[in-house]
Amino acid sequence: MVQSGLEKLRRIIEENDTIAGRAFDLGIQALIFVSLLAFSIETLPELPAGLRPWLRRTEVVTVTLFTAEYVTRLIVARNKFGFMFSFFGVVDLLAILPFYLALGFDLRSMRALRLLRVFRVLKLVRYSQAMQRIHHALLIAWEELVLYMFMTFILLYLAAVGIYYCERDAQPEAFASVFHSLWWAVVTLTTVGYGDVYPVTVGGRMFTFALLLIGLGVVAVPAGLVASALSKARELESEPQPERQTQTEPTNSDH
């Protein structure tokens, strides 16, 4: 009887193929939007004093319901430790943790905890198939993205060193060290070009020209990786379930 009740509850919470499941999903999504709206209203510089108690009550109600959701998901989870340390488990915990950590403290002195409330927006990922597809795509392209980040970091460092030696004598304040030059390297390689720091020497300008050409590739590479991974993720979604399991399960070799 208890097991049957847990299965029904698990289906309502984890699936949306029933009226109760869809109602639960819509209720949580509405709660997320209300919570984010209240959080944003709190940041208004001239907030009426009479509105603060209502915002506080809204926070208490939303956190209570989020806590009930988290505890319920933990109860119905087949692998409880797996849920606790999963992406959605961590997001659900971060959505309620600041409230409990701040009890008895002045939130004005705990801005870091207050900022953690913005993690509630990540709860919406659970209810968006497109966002889940992006998450799947990032997992597919994870190794390539890590390699790209590593190579980009090396390129940024080399760019900072190069412009430092080209411009340190002409602009000692802007390019005082390699660390000071890293800001210019980031702005140039990402082709943002704020214009607050720029080379004035011939060598520095030639170096910048070459770096700008490389920067086009720096911006394009991750977009190509993610686009390819999204295409692969969509193909996997469209495949029949048994076929997908056959492809994803490792084959055991006979010994």
pLDDT per 10-residue tile (average), the chain, 255 residues:
74 82 87 87 84 88 91 89 87 84 60 63 71 80 89 90 90 88 86 76 90 80 85 78 47 44
Question: What is the Cα–Cα distance from 38 to 56, expressed in whole angstroms?
Answer: 9
| 117 and 230 inside one domain | no
**What is the pLDDT at residue 186?**
87
Domain membership flag for residue 173: yes
pLDDT score recorded for residue 158: 92
Domain hosting 214: range is 142-248
Per-residue pLDDT, 255? 44
Q: Both 68 and 161 in a single domain?
A: no
- Looking at the fold, whether 15 and 117 belong to one and the same domain comes out as yes
Q: Among 93, 127, 161, where does a domain finish? A: 127
Q: What is the pLDDT of residue 253?
A: 43
Ramachandran category for residue 193: left, alpha or beta (phi over 0 → left; psi -120 to 50 → alpha): left
CATH of the domain at 119: 1.20.120.350
Number of domains in the chain: 2
| Same domain? 111 vs 211 | no
* 27 within a domain of the structure (yes/no): yes
**Is 0.85 topped by the overall pTM?**
no
**What is the gyration radius of the CA atoms in the chain, in angstroms?**
25
Q: What is the DSSP code string of 96-150?
A: HHHHHHTTTS-GGG-HHHHHGGGGGGGGGGGG-HHHHHHHHHHHHTHHHHHHHHH
CA dihedral 203, 205, 210, 214 (to 10 degrees): 130
pLDDT value, residue 113? 56
Residue 113 lies in a domain: yes
- The last residue of one of the domains, among 73, 95, 127, is 127
Predicted pLDDT of residue 28: 87
